[in-house]
Amino acid sequence: MEELSQYLKILYNRFDNPPRDAPQILMRDLRRYDYELIFEYEDGEVVAGLTLLLFGPIHLIHFMASIESGKGYGTRLLKKVFCKHRGVFIAKTHTASEFYLKKGFKRMGERYFYFNGRFK
């Protein structure tokens, strides 16, 4: 799947901080859990992606990465997710705390945020 390999390349290139092994973690978890991959495209190329692990009414935003920050890719990915899925959303992040807080998520620990309301 070409989209997945483009997304893995983005993940690998975007993580300067732990987890540098994000692509390996992602592939392991895609074998273990029900999931959905959501992509954002420009000129036919994947420019951003989001991995959503599905646990009934609880959804884990496991990874989200884009080729460049500040272009609205993350916001568009979240809108796609919230249009399709209902329930409680949990996001795990190493670097995007402020992004999730601005979108209406609430802090639930050092790296975890939850959302069960109206998207901003």
Q: Summarize pLDDT for 32-50 with one digit per residue, the tens.
A: 999 999 999 999 999 999 9
Q: Which of 48, 52, 47, 13 is nearest to 30 (CA)?
A: 52
pTM for the model stands at 0.81
Name the pLDDT band for 18 (thresholds 50, 70, 90): very low
- Is 11 buried (19+), middle (13-18) or exposed (0-12) by CB count in 10 A? buried
pLDDT digits (tens, 9 = 90+) for 36-95: 999 999 999 999 999 999 998 889 998 888 998 889 999 999 999 988 888 888 888 777
CATH superfamily of 2-115: Gcn5-related N-acetyltransferase (GNAT) (3.40.630.30)
Strand order in the sheet with 112-115: 35-42, 45-55, 58-66, 88-92, 112-115, 106-107
**Domain parsing of the chain, residue ranges:** 2-115
Q: Which of 94, 67, 110 is nearest to 77 (CA)?
A: 67
Does the pLDDT value for residue 119 go beyond 60?
no
pLDDT digits (tens, 9 = 90+) for 1-17: 688 888 888 877 766 55
pLDDT of residue 107: 86
- Residue 39: CB atoms within 10 Å: 18
pLDDT of residue 118: 56
- Residue 112: CB atoms within 10 Å: 16
- Rounded to whole angstroms, the Cα distance separating 8 from 27 reads 9
